[in-house]
Structure 1
């Protein structure tokens, strides 16, 4: 017997009397044609007043349209008891606060130890059956808010909001220096670096990319910056902030230009903030020394997905989720305040 998730329903108002069922599904319930085709294959996938009907039939005011999706599991993800912080959960959606160093989804060479492994195990322990569907991705070392859809309808709906630029993503970053001006936009096309394909660069022939930023606090050697993504390119914030001379503190891939001028020993990020910096003659300038020490003060890029806002696909209301600044970034902020 087929097991279904709870139905998602819609009651037809007077103004839509006579509309075709498929129009209601597409324009009011926002069920994509692809998902409609999938739902038609199951007995209770699409019903009108509890009965299975063709989607070409007209509806009447007061009719109740319902869609039901089959329960799923992530057969390809090994359940593991990995702890993670939950910010919000209902029967359709899970929002978590991802920690630094955690990969979101299993990849080649990383089949275990990911957030997906932990979430699948969490659902199994609760006796629930869902397929892991991250609505968006965060870099392995980036912390913060991450949304996970519990069914294909929710995933599709939020994905469409992202494509339509109706999802607000706000990040906090600790960067070298102070952006000039302290508030503005970075409109710089991004594409792969032809010399290092794993890196991205700002290039005239790249994909349109726009980041809005505002320096919330500034100190002698760095700033706390709030950033809002208007596009979602790989490494967008890291690339854009580097392009204006304010790379993220601790970033090992997009580093300050000063590293082109100093020895590899000084560039070692694993040495620790208070370790002795070895350099060749002449001695390292004080400004360069401060940059290296700041990068050593945190083992990752100082980037945090602080806030995520979108319309809940089923509840039909705007929801905002926030994750507080993590401990390592709070500690780094204190060091900046102290003058490091």
Structure 2
């Protein structure tokens, strides 16, 4: 049986007499669900090298270790695909995702996904991990994508997301002149009853909060910086349309008043998708316990779009 590198915690003097379960949950921040799973693993929890029950009391200087079995995504076909790696360590793989590629295989899309490429990359490097993206990006959205290498790392970042501690900053090109230089859209979102795959602002929907700031105003469009408090499906696209400024290239959430401009943009050939880019992702790194930020520069198609908008005045 193979294991990932153990998580280690040395008990300080002020925690002498603490219950081991408390140390695991309050210091190593192991969730109840993950703790139950680790307890079933041979040598999953040890103190000074000896397997222990979680109700014992620890002593100052005790070396607490938890181990998790190595896993792999056996249902994902390894495939040699280009990956833009921003960072990789024993805990995380951070990518700059291209637009047009799906993150995880779905019905009808079993190959040519980020997952296929990552599984191949790990296979070639001799790394045994299960593919665990810690957040989602739409197929046509480019930018920073974080993938956890262990259940513990996935749990740690997921909990930060639930507590709104993860910093997600997007860059979006939107139609129109944005009157306020910055603002907040606090409007609930849910499915459109007439089109279940479409989301709309509706009073009985789920809470959704989007903050925005105009980075550059062009003659008939703007580059806006956006950061989220919540993560509803299509949140940015729905909220910006509700504000009257849909994303350039977004055919699902367009407004008729911009049809002429949209036709001009399409004729230019410089944009083939909605103009949304996940620029920055920040969180407390589960391995180092330090705040870490990753950034992906604007991809080539959005750089061309920016030039096209500047040339129009």
Q: What range describes the TM-score normalised by the shorter chain of this pair? A: over 0.9
Partner of 1:264: none
Find the aligned partners of 1:238 and 1:304 in 2 and give their Cα distance.
12
Does the CA-based 8 Å contact 1:311-1:318 persist in structure 2?
A: yes
Find the aligned partners of 1:179 and 1:55 in 2 and give their Cα distance.
56
SS at structure 1 position matched to 2:304: helix
Q: TM-score, normalised by structure 2?
A: 0.97
Find the aligned partners of 2:96 and 2:111 in 1 and give their Cα distance.
19
Cα deviation per residue 1:169-215 (whole Å; 9 max; x = unaligned)?
A: 00000110122212000111000011111100011111010000000
SS at structure 2 position matched to 1:215: strand
Equivalent pairs, count: 311
Find the aligned partners of 1:67 and 1:314 in 2 and give their Cα distance.
13
Q: Is 1:7 aligned with 2:6?
A: yes
Partner of 1:318: 291
Find the aligned partners of 1:88 and 1:178 in 2 and give their Cα distance.
37
Find the aligned partners of 2:242 and 2:255 in 1 and give their Cα distance.
10
Find the aligned partners of 2:173 and 2:126 in 1 and give their Cα distance.
41
1:1-340 aligned at under 5 Å gives the runs: 2-258=1-257, 288-296=259-267, 297-339=270-312
Gapped runs of 5+ residues in structure 1? 260-287
SS at structure 1 position matched to 2:93: strand
Find the aligned partners of 1:27 and 1:74 in 2 and give their Cα distance.
30
Q: TM-score, normalised by structure 1?
A: 0.90
Find the aligned partners of 1:295 and 1:184 in 2 and give their Cα distance.
29
SS at structure 1 position matched to 2:94: strand
SS at structure 2 position matched to 1:169: strand
Give the deviation of 1:295 after TM superposition. Answer: 4.7
Find the aligned partners of 1:168 and 1:295 in 2 and give their Cα distance.
33
Which of the pair has more CA radius of gyration? Answer: 1
Does the CA-based 8 Å contact 2:249-2:262 persist in structure 1?
A: no
Find the aligned partners of 1:118 and 1:21 in 2 and give their Cα distance.
40
Gapped runs of 5+ residues in structure 2? none
